[in-house]
Amino acid sequence: MKRIAFILGIIFLILTFVGGIYVITNRGKVNAGYGVIPALWTIICLGYSRGKKQE
């Protein structure tokens, strides 16, 4: 489970950067949630993968 959470965290991290670039290229006229929502999931997944004890 720890490995799956880590992989999902990496995927959401990539989506965060893609969403941020999308918002910047559109000069902020689109919703900032395209970058923020994946960032929240990144924090959750990577925090879970780091906080979980070794099984």
5-43 per-position pLDDT tens digit: 999 999 999 999 999 999 999 998 999 999 999 999 999
- Whole-angstrom Cα distance, residue 52 to residue 55? 8
Could you tell me the pTM of the whole model?
Answer: 0.84
Domains identified in the chain, total number: 1
Domain interval for residue 34:
2-51
Q: Which residue has the tokens 């989506």?
A: 15
